[in-house]
A and B are shown apart, each in its own frame.
Chain A
Amino acid sequence: MFGLIGHSSSFSEARLKARDLGFEDLADGELDIWCSAPPQLLETFEVTSNTGKTIQGTYIDSCFVPEMLSRFKTATRKVQNAMELAQKRGINITALGGFTSIIFENFNLAKFQQIRSTLLQWERFTTGNTHTAWVICRQVEQNAPLMGIDLAKARVAVVGATGDIGSAVCRWLSRRSGVADLLLVARQQQRLNDLRTELGGGEVLSLEEALPEADVVVWVASLPQTLTIDSASLRKPCLMIDGGYPKNLDGKVNSPHVNVLKGGIVEFARDIGWQMMEMAEMANPRRQLFACFAEAMLLEFEDWHTNFSWGRNNITLEAMEQIGAASIRHGFSVLGLEAASISPLPIAA
């Protein structure tokens, strides 16, 4: 059995979900009630691969909502308790979806292995970042040409370049995709310097400097709500891959020559019998899901019961290739631009 640990993308969404499930009292409750709520095992479902293998999965709602991010202890407990529940249910491999992996990493939860009477076994969990990084890179490789962008000549900005997913994306784009220029955007100078050294290239720019320069922008960072993007200053055409969580680029970019693609999303070859993706606003909730969740499925399909994606800055090209091959083999495809949304190519000046 594989597991998925997730959460609602906002407190109001959590309330809607509770009401949908028939929990009126909880739906009407204030945030502090949710702060006291234990993780809930919401659904168990089956998934059948193109190889014919069928596996079972469980979705655990951690009852975390992003409004809890400023409450360090609360956010910590939500993640730890969800992990404890997954382990106690004997789940072989569980993906930490949404903010849960970010909280785990940033709040250093690897230091706290003992949760009440359970000693967490890290091998039972994965952040899902390897598959997410691979998917984002494939989204770049497949969709840039559709917009007339030649990667061999293109400037590709990675916003959040030093993060776990960002650094993996940089590695792949520079060594596998043959991208001409990588523009590295991140907050911490030291990590950026280390990344440049590792890549043997790449240009460090601020976000404001990078945006007007980039033919492709890969967003793999948490964005401030206040961020505004001057669409007119962007290149024509420009492909944006929104790999951030939650996804909020759509409302910020308004230009016929800029296409925003939801990053880190895959589509499965057949329907999955679950309800949970309805809430995630997927266009096709029975088949579309976050790549991090899909990684848990792949690890279960393959019996690779290990923390395949763990820590920060550990994702290798080989691991990305390995998970990518499994992804294709079992029936996942990466989300692409809808044909109708691609504007005609601008005429060269």
Chain B
Amino acid sequence: MASSVLVPSVADGLPDFSSEAYKSAYSRINAIVIEGEQEAHDNYISLGSLIPTQVEELAQLARMELKHMKGFQACGKNLGVEADMAFAKTFFAPLHNNFKQALAANQVVTCLVIQALMIEAFAIAAYHIYIPVADPFARKITEGVVKDEYTHLNYGQEWLKANFEASRSEIEQANRINLPIIRRMLEQVANDAAELHMEKESLIEDFLIAYQEALMEIGFSPRDLARMSAAALVS
């Protein structure tokens, strides 16, 4: 093993925020983020109908998501980028459909897994990786958003933890069905993310770290985590 591999080369600098390639990728990524926050808002309101005792709390989470959405809209405007919302709607469709189905079937656990665990973990990973390579305006906005997302992940985690035994098999099933969708979403966004200097490897890893930590808090064993995560790693 040559010694030189142990001496790292200089890390990447920031991307060129004004290049056409960057702005094209940004139009899709920005749209994904805006759409994600909008759907998160809608999903938390919907969850309120399934957990009436939590209506106020969930409405508060929903309001935060709307605030995030407005922040990200400003980020796009700041760079002179028009968000490709049609792309984003298509991007979220499979996951969104699964949420709607679960909602219609009163499956609170599945809804929480999709929104409060998976989508929040996805967002946390994406925002963490975005922050160091963002333009200064977007960086400030995203730093503020990330803090909130931890609160949301925590919300889902606490509810499922309190109802662990009863929820366990539904969590596992929701994981089995939806994690591959998350994986495909990450694949789909990989090239555009790379344009923004965000690496696919880091995105998957960071997502799994946040997701696994939530599952661990909820009550799953380390063995369970590795087993449940495999669906996100293996295509």
Taking a contact as CB atoms under 8 Å apart, the answer to whether B234 and A29 are in contact is yes
Q: Chain B residues near A85 (CB, 8 Å)?
A: 209
With A26-B233, A33-B234, A66-B1 known as contacts, the answer to whether A40 contacts B226 (CB < 8 A) is: yes
What 0/1 pattern do residues 1 to 36 of B give for CB contact below 8 A with A? 111011111010000000000000000000000000
**Interface size of A in residues (CB-CB distance below 8 Å):** 42
What 0/1 pattern do residues 214 to 225 of A give for CB contact below 8 A with B? 000000001111
Nearest-Cβ distance from residue B158 to partner chain A, whole angstroms = 17
A348 at the interface (CB under 8 A from B): no
- B122-154 residues at the A interface, CB under 8 angstroms: 124, 128, 146, 150
Closest to B210 in A: A116
User: Which of A36, A84, A223 has the most chain B CB within a 10 Å cutoff?
Assistant: A36
B77 at the interface (CB under 8 A from A): no
Whole-angstrom CA separation of A29 from B231 in the bound complex: 12
B208 at the interface (CB under 8 A from A): yes
Whole-angstrom CA separation of A225 from B3 in the bound complex: 12
Stretch at the interface among A70-78, A202-210, A259-267, A313-321: A70-78
B222 at the interface (CB under 8 A from A): yes
Taking a contact as CB atoms under 8 Å apart, the answer to whether B233 and A36 are in contact is yes
- A113-142 residues at the B interface, CB under 8 angstroms: 116-117
Q: Chain B residues near A33 (CB, 8 Å)?
A: 233-234
Q: Chain A residues near B51 (CB, 8 Å)?
A: none
Whole-angstrom CA separation of A36 from B230 in the bound complex: 11
Q: Chain A residues near B208 (CB, 8 Å)?
A: 36-38
What 0/1 pattern do residues 32 to 45 of A give for CB contact below 8 A with B? 11011111111100
Q: Chain A residues near B9 (CB, 8 Å)?
A: 72
Nearest-Cβ distance from residue A30 to partner chain B, whole angstroms = 10
Taking a contact as CB atoms under 8 Å apart, the answer to whether B201 and A36 are in contact is yes
Stretch at the interface among A17-25, A173-181, A286-294, A327-335: A17-25
B205 at the interface (CB under 8 A from A): yes
Taking a contact as CB atoms under 8 Å apart, the answer to whether A81 and B205 are in contact is yes
B195 at the interface (CB under 8 A from A): no
The residue from A21, A106, A222, A223 contacting B7, defined by CB atoms under 8 A apart: A106
Taking a contact as CB atoms under 8 Å apart, the answer to whether A29 and B233 are in contact is yes
Nearest-Cβ distance from residue A101 to partner chain B, whole angstroms = 12
Taking a contact as CB atoms under 8 Å apart, the answer to whether A25 and B234 are in contact is yes
With A25-B230, A25-B233 known as contacts, the answer to whether A222 contacts B1 (CB < 8 A) is: yes
With A74-B201, A106-B6, A187-B3 known as contacts, the answer to whether A38 contacts B230 (CB < 8 A) is: no
Whole-angstrom CA separation of A42 from B224 in the bound complex: 11
* Interface secondary structure of A, over-half rule: mixed
User: Which of B202, B209, B216 has the most chain A CB within a 10 Å cutoff?
Assistant: B209
Nearest-Cβ distance from residue B196 to partner chain A, whole angstroms = 16
Closest to B128 in A: A116
Taking a contact as CB atoms under 8 Å apart, the answer to whether A81 and B226 are in contact is no
Whole-angstrom CA separation of A26 from B230 in the bound complex: 7
Closest to A117 in B: B150
With A29-B233, A106-B7 known as contacts, the answer to whether A35 contacts B201 (CB < 8 A) is: yes
Closest to A188 in B: B3
Whole-angstrom CA separation of A41 from B226 in the bound complex: 9
With A25-B234, A26-B233, A33-B234 known as contacts, the answer to whether A102 contacts B205 (CB < 8 A) is: no
Q: Chain B residues near A108 (CB, 8 Å)?
A: 8
- B180-235 residues at the A interface, CB under 8 angstroms: 199-202, 204-206, 208-209, 212-213, 216, 222-223, 225-227, 229-231, 233-234
Q: Chain B residues near A84 (CB, 8 Å)?
A: 209
A53 at the interface (CB under 8 A from B): no
- A45-82 residues at the B interface, CB under 8 angstroms: 66, 69-70, 72-74, 76-77, 81
User: Which of B124, B201, B223 has the most chain A CB within a 10 Å cutoff?
Assistant: B201
Nearest-Cβ distance from residue A188 to partner chain B, whole angstroms = 10
The residue from B213, B216, B226 contacting A21, defined by CB atoms under 8 A apart: B226
Whole-angstrom CA separation of A9 from B136 in the bound complex: 42
Q: Chain B residues near A81 (CB, 8 Å)?
A: 205, 209
Closest to B206 in A: A116
Taking a contact as CB atoms under 8 Å apart, the answer to whether B226 and A77 are in contact is no
Nearest-Cβ distance from residue B212 to partner chain A, whole angstroms = 6
Taking a contact as CB atoms under 8 Å apart, the answer to whether B227 and A22 are in contact is yes
Taking a contact as CB atoms under 8 Å apart, the answer to whether A23 and B230 are in contact is yes
Whole-angstrom CA separation of A240 from B94 in the bound complex: 61
Closest to B124 in A: A116
Residues of chain A touching chain B, judged by Cβ–Cβ distance below 8 Å, are 21-23, 25-26, 28-29, 32-33, 35-43, 66, 69-70, 72-74, 76-77, 81, 84-85, 88, 102-103, 106-108, 116-117, 187, 222-225
Q: List 11 A-B contacts (CB under 8 A).
A: A23-B230, A25-B234, A26-B230, A32-B201, A33-B233, A36-B205, A36-B233, A37-B205, A38-B209, A69-B5, A107-B8
